[in-house]
Chain A
Amino acid sequence: MAAIEAEGLVKTYGSGEKTVRALDGVDLEVPAGTVLGLLGPNGAGKTTAVRVLTTLLTPDSGRARVLGLDVLREPQRVRERIGLSGQYAAVDENLTGRENLVMVGRLYHLGKKEAQRRAADLLEQFALADAADRPTKTYSGGMRRRLDLAAALVVRPPVMFLDEPTTGLDPRTRIAMWDVIADLVAGGATLLLTTQYLEEADRLADSIAVVDHGKVIARGTADELKTQVGGERLQLVVHDRDRLDEAARILARLALAEPTVDRRTRELLAPIEGGAKLLVETVRELDNAGIAVDDLALRRPTLDDVFLTLTGKAAEPAANEEADR
């Protein structure tokens, strides 16, 4: 059974000319124990989808179920079974880390003792024990994110929603966060993860749904999406810049299309068919012509290529720039 199901979700904001279709008929299905990556640019509708699935927002039309429970008809039972960690790190900055987690535990109706014990465990697990009794406004961005994630895990819910869990984090903290999320998944949780980062979806998700303008425009595993965009590319770096055009002519004969030529990096890139066999053939031809090659690789399209092809927009650059904000 699918742990998360959505059919034809529609949500519009505003009216008349200015109507924004935040969700324009979204269908999703996440089998139990798997990770779905909802990948899309800012404003694609990812957060809106999460808000509907976590009972925070009523859609205009469509149906959604979590663990077979209708989110509109039985929201309270859904809330007992989900954990949500949003992109804004919703922790009370005037309370300490411990107080935040105990409060959440008590609102899940754990007893006072049990809430305290669970808070202590989570603080330990997320390496926040040293900062446990400091107000969270003194925490760094990464620490807040971890506390927010810990708050979503207080009852270890079987279904988790992580809305852009690493947006705004520096690369090192992001990678550490990925390890934490990978652990959750290893523990058998079903996870819906939204992200703008292809690398993140590629690394954490079993399957990916690409969202743009409130619609799912492609879905499948990372491999399937890459195949969908087109086969392999051959990439080679010629040692001697003067022989670049000559090499390009040889490659053009073997490849499916004219190679792109980058004079600065002395790099040629062309779509091919035939994989390793063609690679060997190319090497032989170049060798016969006496052209020395520095690097030669058979490369499958990256999710970046997928995203660019599907949406006509480049994906958000991963890591570095975001962290500077």
Chain B
Amino acid sequence: MTTDTETFASGRPSPSPGPVARHAPGLTGAFYDGWVVTLRNLRRMTRIPEMVVFATIQPIMFVLLFAFVFGGAIPVSGGGTHAYREYLLPGIFVQTLAFTTGTTAVGLADDLHKGLVDRFRSLPMARSAVLLGRTVADWIQNLFVLAIMALCGLAVGWRIHNGFWKALAAFLLVMLFSYAMSWIGAVIGLSVSTPETANTAGFIWLFPVTFVSNAFVPTSSLPGWLQPVAEWNPISSTVLALRELFGNPTGYAPGQVPDVLPMQYPGWVSLGWSALILAFFVPLAVRKYRSVSA
């Protein structure tokens, strides 16, 4: 105990009349409340040094490890001296940003566990604000993570070949995908009882999901039965779309792209996956939030 008790028992000014709660107008109110919670989440991210370090170091580490450890062992057709590194970077982008699922899950589970969600739910704020605030804050953090990865990639030989607009499209596509993945995390975070469980439930399944894809190796190198799984994996279409938009090697010889929808139209399929994930998990998360209890 610190000495905080003596001071306030006496000589305290008598309670002053406080202000009165106001109605927030409809949709504007929902965005306003969501923004207040977003600012709170961003602010606390900067207060937890481990989080900042983890968010910065992890993507750098992944880029360097894969570029220098696997880079020599995995042959990739097309591209120059840094063919594998150019091939790899879009894979790293997508994998790292998919891991936001776990971040969102842990963040929400933590708020739930500490009773903060109860506090929020007892306030006359928009019901969507806590979820919106969490996912938007994680999205903004991901912008920062993506920027670091891109800079790190440029340093090891990754290049953008198709100009600014296609590169912008690629970045937007992967950021949309990460936002969708965040809502899966929201559902996980609201479904588990402790932040520790959220950590496991939010991350573990992402390893097979991100590795059984074209993120690190061409799908053609996988066993035959696994290839369709990898090709239909949302990660794969997103990664392939990024490679095409950046002008990086795709891992397929010209004209040898598998004749399946997600590999033929990766950009549109990735957009479709993101839309589908959002359409399913946003209402689910909102429903869970309404009835959740710590």
- Interface 0/1 of B44-85, CB less than 8 Å to A: 100110000000000000000000000000000000000000
Using Cβ atoms and an 8 Å threshold, which residues of chain B touch A155?
18-21
Query: Chain B residues near A154 (CB, 8 Å)?
Result: 18-19
Known contacts A82-B122, A90-B119, A107-B120; A146 and B24 CB within 8 A of each other? no
Number of chain A residues close to chain B: CB under 8 A: 62
Known: A89-B115, A142-B5. A108 touches B12 (CB 8 A): no
User: Does A86 sit at the interface, judged by CB under 8 A?
Assistant: yes
What's the Cα separation between A21 and B1 when bound, in Å?
38
Smallest CB separation, B39 vs chain A (Å) = 8
Q: Does B2 reach chain A (CB closer than 8 Å)?
A: yes
- Closest chain A CB from B118 CB (angstroms): 6
Q: Does A239 contact B (CB under 8 A)?
A: no
- Indicate whether B7 reaches chain A with its CB closer than 8 angstroms: yes
Please, how many angstroms separate the alpha-carbon atoms of A180 and B47 in the complex?
31
Given known contacts A82-B122, A125-B13, is B40 in contact with A95 (CB within 8 Å)? yes
Whether B293 sits at the interface, judged by CB under 8 Å, is yes
List A residues 207-233 near B (Cβ within 8 Å): none
**B33, CB-defined interface residue at 8 Å:** yes
Interfacial chain B residues near A175, Cβ < 8 Å: 9
Compute how far the CA of A131 lies from the CA of B2 in the bound complex, rounded to whole angstroms.
12
- Known: A84-B119, A90-B116. Contact between A121 and B16, CB under 8 A? yes
State whether A79 touches B123 (Cβ < 8 A).
yes
Interchain CA distance A183-B29 in the complex, whole Å: 34
Tell whether A184 is near chain B: CB-to-CB under 8 Å: yes
Give the residues in chain B near A258, CB-CB below 8 Å.
none
**Given contacts A56-B293, A106-B36, is CB(A86)–CB(B118) below 8 Å?**
yes
Contact: A92 with B44, CB < 8 Å? Answer: yes
- A172–B5 contact, CB under 8 A? yes
Contacts of B7 in A (CB 8 A): 127
| Chain B residues with a Cβ under 8 A of chain A | 1-2, 4-5, 7-9, 12-24, 29, 32-33, 36-37, 40, 43-44, 47-48, 114-116, 118-125, 129, 291, 293-294
10 residue pairs from A and B, CB less than 8 Å apart: A81-B21, A90-B114, A90-B118, A92-B114, A95-B44, A127-B8, A153-B18, A154-B19, A155-B20, A176-B9
Q: Other CB < 8 Å A-B pairs besides A108-B19, A187-B15, 16 of them?
A: A57-B293, A84-B122, A90-B119, A92-B116, A94-B44, A99-B43, A103-B40, A108-B21, A108-B124, A109-B22, A114-B19, A124-B13, A135-B47, A153-B18, A156-B19, A180-B12
